[in-house]
């Protein structure tokens, strides 16, 4: 599901969805209820993955998608940052 699709289902902006996803915005009770409805899961399921057998058997939060190298600016200096994907699927 895209952020746009989720935003439309929850009647939120795409920016709000993106900020929640990145942990830059707090999701209140109403937003949590709308997200749970959009995903057709209980509110608890948004925080507790123990009942999601596919997620648990797949390694849970141990695996992260690979990321590309990016340039980071630190006080007018460019620093190359490379994140290696240690967990392969």
Q: Just give the CATH number of 3-61.
A: 1.10.260
Give me the residue spans of the domains in the chain. Answer: 3-61
**Whole-angstrom distance, CA of residue 74 vs CA of residue 59:** 35
Binned average pLDDT, 10 residues per bin, the chain of 89 residues: 92 92 87 92 83 75 57 60 53
**Whole-angstrom distance, CA of residue 29 vs CA of residue 17:** 15
Q: What's the pTM value of the predicted model, to 2 decimals?
A: 0.57
| Structure tokens, 83 | 């994140």
**Whole-angstrom distance, CA of residue 36 vs CA of residue 62:** 23
């Amino acid at each position: 599901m895209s952020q746009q699709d989720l935003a439309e289902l929850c009647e939120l902006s795409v920016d709000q969805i993106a900020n929640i996803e990145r942990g830059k915005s707090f999701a209140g009770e109403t937003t949590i209820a709308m997200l749970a409805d959009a995903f057709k899961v209980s509110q608890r399921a948004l925080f507790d993955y123990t009942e999601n057998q596919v997620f648990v058997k797949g390694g849970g939060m141990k695996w992260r998608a690979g990321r590309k190298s990016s340039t980071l600016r630190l006080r007018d200096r460019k620093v190359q940052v490379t994140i290696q994907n240690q967990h392969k699927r």
